[in-house]
Homo-oligomer: A and B are copies of this chain.
Amino acid sequence: MAHNPLSLDLLRALDAIDQRGSFAAAAEALHKVPSALTYTVQKVEQDLGIDLFDRSGHRAKMTPAARLILEEGRGILRDIDNLASSAKKIASGWEPELRIGVDTVFEPARLYPLVHEFNEAHPYIKVHLVHGSLSGTWEMLINGDADLILSTDLLDPKIDGYETRRFGEMSMVFAVAKNHPLASNACDWTHEEIEAYPTIVVRDSSKLMAPRTIGWTRQNKLITVPTMRDKIEAQLAGLGVGYLPRHRIQAELDSGALVQVKLNETNPPSEAVIAWRTGVTGKALGWFRERIDAEVLGV
């Protein structure tokens, strides 16, 4: 079986003929002589067995088939151009794909504008966003399932082989739904009173490492949910209580849907960090390392 007779040269020729309006003008634009264009076109017409131009009149007019090839061909030419430049990028240190692990404390949608911008600039570099929670997010990095993670320094597992950079501060607030019994008094609840209500906790997505527990541990009345979003919704519904990252619930605090309860224990604010494996130096990784900032927290 022979080759497909369509050549990129033909696509470029059709494009030039359409833009310049004539074989002669197109030939000049392509640094060729008109008869060369005639040759290119006739060759494909013969191989494909169809007419590309209607030569009955004075000037050659494209047939519908040629017009289809023209229109779709432009997309193909664009793809080929993108592909060539992307290949060069990859050869010069841009990764073919980048996997970003995002801890559930962050609103995933906050990253989309950044990913979108990256994708416009580098159409052939695939960005994967994978989600994790607590030490599970770190595990993705250690296991090589992610090239870059957004997480917190809270449970830094003291394994070396990676580097971190801080990009924001997260204060955790103990919050309850507005109808919750604890909401009636802004302060002064004892531990025993608080322990009367279930605590919502996010389940650690780690498969291998010892799951860490968040905040202070109470054995009784734990309700575990898979993501921070679920935890927020559970607490909004009054199902239980617990610490939530302020940046995720600012709107609910402002509207009064959630109420902050002040406890006498103090939670030092934890750090939002990005982390990557040492020695890994791709340019896409570098791009995101540079660009991830407090914006991702929504502040």
Residues of A within 8 A of B (CB): 3-8, 12, 48-51, 63-69, 72-73, 75-77, 79-81, 83-84, 86-88, 90-92, 95-96, 124
Contacts and interface: CB of A to CB of B under 8 A. Distances in A.
Contact of A86 (B49, B68, B88, B91): B68
A81 B49 contact: no
B6 A7 contact: no
Contacts of A83: 6, 68-69, 72-73, 76
Contacts of A75: 79
Contacts of A66: 87
B64 A90 contact: yes
Contacts of A95: 64
B88 A6 contact: no
A4 B84 contact: yes
A281 to B, nearest CB: 14
Contacts of A80: 4, 6, 76
B91 A51 contact: yes
Nearest to A90: B65
How many subunits of this chain does the assembly comprise? 2
Contacts of A86: 68, 72
Given A3-B12, A65-B87, A79-B79, 8 more contacts: A4-B8, A48-B87, A65-B88, A68-B90, A69-B87, A72-B79, A76-B80, A76-B83
14 contacts: A4-B8, A6-B80, A7-B8, A63-B91, A64-B90, A65-B87, A65-B88, A68-B86, A68-B87, A68-B96, A72-B124, A73-B83, A76-B79, A76-B83
Given A4-B81, A6-B84, A67 B48 contact: no
Nearest to A9: B3
A50 B91 CA distance: 6
Contacts of A92: 50
Contacts of A79: 72, 75-76, 79
Nearest to A91: B50
A79 B96 CA distance: 22
A5 B65 contact: no
Contacts of A50: 87-88, 91-92
A294 B5 CA distance: 42
A84 B65 CA distance: 9
Which of A48, A68, A72, A77 neighbours the largest number of chain B CB atoms within 10 Å of its CB? A68
A64 B7 CA distance: 26
Q: Which A-B residue pairs are the 8 nearest by beta carbons?
A: A50-B91, A65-B91, A65-B87, A65-B90, A6-B84, A64-B96, A72-B83, A4-B84
A68 B95 CA distance: 10
Nearest to A89: B65
A69 B96 CA distance: 11
A3 B12 CA distance: 10
